Chains A and B, each alone.
Chain A
């Protein structure tokens, strides 16, 4: 598709102007008649028995319409492990546990009422580190599993692993082996728009809920179960997604506050809105999971990788979310980043009394790319091979099948690494205390199958004015999905993107979609849209056989009046009119076998009206298609399966300068080279790449949720630091490699997550190159760098004194 009219051309996204002007309506702006405001009472202990909850004072406060606890509402279990509850009964397992909630006529009254709820606790000993949680006789976070069977350990029953080749043999045969322990921190998704929802039940018990979700249809299933628990089986649940100020993975699960809003709406018979403020968002929503990783990699004398062994332990917090499936994505880089024949992987998750964790952009991938790519530089040093060279020698190639069974169709990794090295002047002489580093990535590029259907549907509806409305069940959360989708529809139907409107996501009007994760939004939506457009074209062309000749002849008549000297070429119109010989271009329908006479082009809107207004034969055009990508649901315990229709690759490089007296790291410049398959809209793509890189820099250098005995110590942007424009004012060179993937819409792959995956190891490798210290736990704070520099100085001083 080199002759695209819209694909590949920079174009502002359709939602840009309204967002810039403050016209977009977010959950914060939604008001329903009679709406109440809900507020949650959270636990004041990390682990405690609930002795008594006294809600009487809150109930007496004027303006309060309902106070609910687990003791006066039906049990609603939540989470894919069914180990969590909308409202907690008997005991709390983390500071943010929801013990009660209030609905009141305004938010201030609701907040006051929550303060009036008295909860008496009997504190229990807690477990706050992996070692504490896994110790013999450790207090149990959950005494029973979801089925009521007693538990004896805090370890989750989920198992993830992979074994291929013969590790022991490979390790013995290696010329160089390097081992290391790495760790990553809890990270806040830092969405500009905080969490919130609005739940409303009609008089028959049908639910409408406006939610910050990335999974409208899985949420619909979850909420339908909640309705059943409330004694409303068989009722309709409609999930509507308003404009979102970012989600970054926070919308992959349904949350206790959403169920609480439903319970309050049910109790009061009024719409109820719950909106978290920033402190609540920080303290009471799940951050990205932390990880502890042990890694070993080896290579032969030529620098060819011989084996890779990765052991991961993750502090899951008190309950399970989809975040507990991070290892499903860890498998990709562990088994398939660079060619490595012998791989061993094992991941374990442990319950603790810390805040429970959830998904975030990259979904386990950055957690292991960090140790893999840091350790690879150490291996390169051990083998005395340039790190870029070592990577090139092990580069993945199109056509290979990896140990996990990933079938690599297109692969631009080599080009990405070459571009990165070139733009960084790899190998050039540098000033003292400056250095460069790079790291690569693999990620799903054609969705990622974690559910029995990994598809999504699109409906196209044409109106009498030639406007096309598109309904898709995935979510625009700020990433630019609607831009890609409108360009795709415009391209496929030969209309201007202005003629394409993407409808709000609503389970009541949109076809099913598994959810917007795994960088799959544009890949799935555009593929489904292309299939739907094909069907629409067939419908339009079939009807055009009947109506086109009449419209063309009307055109000719008018044309002759306007141009009296015009002589129409001799041409058999009736013979040329065949359904399969029509084409749509520039908002018009034309015949491929007709001369390029102006009167032989009919405006699409006029054609659509002619198709519509023809008595009993009238038709309005709608077309729908469901796209299911070609991939396999992997066996997670064996860690085998071709989980995506294609894979995205990339490399990032950083040049940094380190202040050896303060430990500060200043990024001088960065390069991000991504195999995107095909550039759909360079503007939104650059947005994804810059945004991802910025989050990657935050992950590498600044961001960390700090906890003490389960309590979050920095629940605000005052104390939790994301990079500001001052940190991000270095030049970033973006390079997009187009590998034209056969599975992708116009050849495109998913691009949403890769941007932050290799950033941290690229920076860490550059720090090592600059001053010779390796930091193994994120974030790389100046304090850690200084400590490492001190240790190195002390060691070399020791060496000097010991030499006579």
Chain B
């Protein structure tokens, strides 16, 4: 492992200043992605800037909107009963995430900023219509999560910018949801994951959001599936049609974990099962 300097600013302003002074420096939150890459030699930053002491980044607030600090760990999300009861999807994604040790370190912001196509918090946050707040030396801005991912490992963040907060609207009175994920064994990168979030009233599906992970360069919303389901009642054949449509919206790859074909099959099955399970979920 090549040596690097380590900085621990206590404010964002200080973090921006250090980042400005050391080109090639990188932010680090839990380090569960960054340090793995540094150890394997895939990344050789000359300095790491820890976000660990900037406490404004760790807030968790439920109100007219819900604000999840980027530095909240997966474990903190899982252990927050109000948050997980308002958004069961968050718990469903957080529960099988890595191991206890990983959950204690890994942050929600890190998961998004790392921009892995397989990041587990991405599909659920996409299905919840999350927005992200970004702060940089030039000020603050907000973008829909949907527009945040630009490619594998690539985000909308400009150099020096920090993701500060994930913002969620209230779940809605008739909200139903389900997150399903498949991997080879318990601790593994997802082969495919699907999150469904929708409103179900009078047998009718509205505000349907379906997102998938690990089947395209970025975690993505399956908009054709959403459009198909929007406003419909669940009738025989509808979910099969949705599943077929889902397979046409994704662009999975073949790698050592699975073939593109298998990922496509899985996505179809998971879309059908996730929507069905969401509809059956009793509230």
- Which residues of A does B touch, CB under 8 Å? 108, 279, 661-662, 664, 702, 706, 713-714, 718-719, 721-727, 781-783, 786
Which of A706, A713, A722, A783: most chain B CB closer than 10 A?
A783
The answer to whether B186 touches A713, judged by C-beta atoms less than 8 angstroms apart, is no
Question: How would residues 173 to 191 of chain B score, 1 for a CB under 8 Å from any chain A CB and 0 otherwise?
Answer: 0000000001011111100
Q: Which residues of B contact A719 (CB under 8 A)?
A: 256-257
- Cα distance A714–B189 in the bound complex, in angstroms: 13
- Cα distance A706–B266 in the bound complex, in angstroms: 22
Q: Which residues of A contact B26 (CB under 8 A)?
A: none
- Given contacts A702-B185, A727-B185, list 16 more A-B pairs with CB under 8 A: A108-B1, A279-B40, A664-B182, A702-B184, A706-B256, A718-B189, A719-B256, A721-B185, A721-B188, A724-B185, A724-B186, A724-B187, A726-B186, A726-B187, A727-B186, A781-B184
Q: Which residues of B contact A781 (CB under 8 A)?
A: 184
Instruction: Classify the interface of chain B: helix, strand, loop or mixed.
Output: loop
Q: Which residues of A contact B266 (CB under 8 A)?
A: 662
Looking at the assembled complex, report how far the CB atom of B262 sits from the nearest CB atom of chain A, in whole angstroms: 5
The answer to whether A783 touches B185, judged by C-beta atoms less than 8 angstroms apart, is no
Of the candidates B40, B184, B187, B256, the one whose C-beta lies within 8 Å of that of A713 is B256
Looking at the assembled complex, report how far the CB atom of A777 sits from the nearest CB atom of chain B, in whole angstroms: 15
Q: Which residues of A contact B262 (CB under 8 A)?
A: 782-783, 786
Q: Which residues of A contact B104 (CB under 8 A)?
A: none
Closest Cβ neighbor of B259 among chain A residues: A783
Whether a CB of chain A sits under 8 angstroms from the CB of B13 is no
Number of A-B contacts (CB under 8 A): 38
Of the candidates A714, A723, A782, A786, the one whose C-beta lies within 8 Å of that of B256 is A714
Instruction: Classify the interface of chain A: helix, strand, loop or mixed.
Output: loop
Contacts A714-B256, A783-B258, A786-B262 given; does A721 touch B184 at CB 8 Å: yes
Whether a CB of chain A sits under 8 angstroms from the CB of B269 is yes
Closest Cβ neighbor of A723 among chain B residues: B185
Contacts A714-B256, A719-B256, A783-B262 given; does A662 touch B185 at CB 8 Å: no
- Which residues of B does A touch, CB under 8 Å? 1, 40, 96, 182, 184-189, 256-259, 262, 265-266, 269
- Cα distance A724–B188 in the bound complex, in angstroms: 10
Looking at the assembled complex, report how far the CB atom of B86 sits from the nearest CB atom of chain A, in whole angstroms: 27
A-B contact pairs, 7 of them (CB 8 A): A108-B1, A662-B182, A664-B182, A718-B189, A724-B186, A726-B187, A783-B262
Looking at the assembled complex, report how far the CB atom of A786 sits from the nearest CB atom of chain B, in whole angstroms: 7
Q: Which residues of A contact B187 (CB under 8 A)?
A: 724, 726
Closest Cβ neighbor of A706 among chain B residues: B256
The answer to whether A662 touches B269, judged by C-beta atoms less than 8 angstroms apart, is yes
Q: Which residues of B contact A724 (CB under 8 A)?
A: 185-187
Q: Which residues of B contact A714 (CB under 8 A)?
A: 256
Contacts A662-B269, A719-B256, A786-B265 given; does A725 touch B184 at CB 8 Å: no
Looking at the assembled complex, report how far the CB atom of A707 sits from the nearest CB atom of chain B, in whole angstroms: 10
Q: Which residues of A contact B1 (CB under 8 A)?
A: 108
- Cα distance A724–B258 in the bound complex, in angstroms: 19
Looking at the assembled complex, report how far the CB atom of B36 sits from the nearest CB atom of chain A, in whole angstroms: 8
Looking at the assembled complex, report how far the CB atom of A761 sits from the nearest CB atom of chain B, in whole angstroms: 21
- Cα distance A786–B187 in the bound complex, in angstroms: 22
- Cα distance A108–B1 in the bound complex, in angstroms: 7
Looking at the assembled complex, report how far the CB atom of B98 sits from the nearest CB atom of chain A, in whole angstroms: 11
Closest Cβ neighbor of B265 among chain A residues: A786
Q: Which residues of B contact A662 (CB under 8 A)?
A: 182, 265-266, 269
The answer to whether B256 touches A722, judged by C-beta atoms less than 8 angstroms apart, is no
Looking at the assembled complex, report how far the CB atom of B14 sits from the nearest CB atom of chain A, in whole angstroms: 31
- Cα distance A714–B255 in the bound complex, in angstroms: 11
- Cα distance A783–B182 in the bound complex, in angstroms: 12
Q: Which residues of B contact A702 (CB under 8 A)?
A: 184-185
Q: Which residues of B contact A108 (CB under 8 A)?
A: 1
Of the candidates B186, B258, B265, the one whose C-beta lies within 8 Å of that of A725 is B186
Closest Cβ neighbor of B183 among chain A residues: A721
- Cα distance A722–B185 in the bound complex, in angstroms: 8
- Cα distance A781–B185 in the bound complex, in angstroms: 11
Q: Which residues of A contact B186 (CB under 8 A)?
A: 724-727
Q: Which residues of B contact A725 (CB under 8 A)?
A: 186
Closest Cβ neighbor of A719 among chain B residues: B256
Closest Cβ neighbor of A724 among chain B residues: B186
- Cα distance A390–B145 in the bound complex, in angstroms: 61
Closest Cβ neighbor of B269 among chain A residues: A661
Closest 10 CB pairs of A and B: A726-B186, A724-B186, A661-B269, A783-B262, A721-B185, A721-B184, A724-B185, A713-B256, A724-B187, A714-B256
